[in-house]
Amino acid sequence: MRNNAIYLTGSVLTGLLGYVFHFETGHLLGPSSYAVVASAIAALYVLTLPVVGLQLVTARFSSVAAARNQPDAVLPMVIRVTGMSMLGGVPVAVLLTIFSPLVATFLNLSDHRVVYVLAAAGLTTLAVTINRGALQGLRRFVSLSANTLTDMTSRLALAGALVAVGFGALGAITALVLGPAVAYAQSFFFLRGRGAAASEPDRFVGIGQYAILATVASVGINYLFSIDTLLAKHYLAADAAGLYAAASVLARVVYFLGLSVTGVMFPEVANLHARNEAHFHVVDMSLLLVVIMGAALIATYTLFPGVVLLPYGPSFTPARSYLGVFAIALTMLTIANLFINYFLSIARRSFVIPLFGACIAETTLLTLFHSGIWQILTVVTFCLGLLAAVMAGLYASDRFAARSTAT
Residue 225 lies in a domain: yes
Same domain, 174 and 304: no
Domain-embedded: residue 199: no
Asked if residue 195 is part of any domain, the answer here is no
The reply to whether 65 and 186 lie within a common domain is yes
For residue 324, being part of any structural domain is answered with yes
Residue range of the domain that includes 121:
2-190
Nearest to 85 by CA among 95, 93, 73: 93
Q: What is the reported pLDDT for 64?
A: 83
d(CA 115, CA 123): 13
Residues 171 and 224 in one domain: no
Q: Please give the tally of structural domains in the chain.
A: 2
Rounded to an integer, the average pLDDT of 181-195 is 85
Residue-level pLDDT at 81: 86
State whether 118 and 235 are in the same domain.
no
Q: How far apart are CA 139 and CA 396, in angstroms?
A: 26
pLDDT for res 40: 77
Task: Note whether 158 and 216 are same-domain residues.
Answer: no
Q: Are residues 173 and 296 in the same domain?
A: no
Q: Is residue 202 part of a domain?
A: no
Q: Write down the pLDDT at residue 407.
A: 55
Rounded to an integer, the average pLDDT of 230-241 is 81
pTM here is 0.76
What confidence score (pLDDT) does residue 107 get?
Answer: 67
**38 and 70 together in one domain:** yes
pLDDT band, residue 363 (cuts 50/70/90): very high
Are residues 220 and 264 both part of a single domain?
A: yes
What Rg value do the Cα atoms of the chain yield, rounded? 22
Of 46 and 298, the structure prediction assigns the larger pLDDT to 298
Contact 352, 333 (CB under 8 A): no
Q: Measuring CA to CA, which residue among 66, 70, 64 is closest to residue 273?
A: 64
In a domain, 198, yes or no: no
User: Do 214 and 341 fall within a single domain?
Assistant: yes
Q: Are residue 37 and residue 167 in the same domain, yes or no?
A: yes
Q: What's residue 339's pLDDT?
A: 96
- Would residue 392 count as lying in a domain? yes
Residues 131, 132, 137, 142, Cα dihedral to 10°: 130
Please give the mean pLDDT across all residues of the chain.
85
End-of-domain residue from the set 190, 215, 245: 190
Count Cβ atoms below 10 Å from residue 166 Cβ, excluding itself: 7
Interval 56-106: pLDDT, tens: 888 888 888 888 888 778 888 888 888 888 988 899 889 988 988 888 877
| 373 vs 204, residue with greater confidence | 373
Domain boundary among 127, 161, 190: 190
pLDDT at 198: 43
Give residue 201's pLDDT band: very low, low, confident or very high (50, 70, 90). Answer: very low
Q: Give pLDDT tens digits for 292-336.
A: 999 999 999 999 888 887 767 787 788 888 899 999 999 999 999
Q: From the CB of residue 297, how many other CB atoms can be counted at a distance below 10 Å?
A: 25
Residue 55 counted as domain residue: yes
CA–CA gap between residue 30 and residue 215 (Å, rounded): 37
**Which of residues 190, 218, 244 is at a domain's end?**
190
pLDDT-wise least confident of 142-146, 234-238, 388-392: 234-238
How far CA 202 is from CA of 80, 221, 263, in Å, comes to 11, 30, 26
Same domain, 98 and 63: yes
Amino acid (one-letter) located at 83:
G
pLDDT range class, residue 203, cuts 50, 70, 90: low
Are residues 145 and 105 both part of a single domain? yes
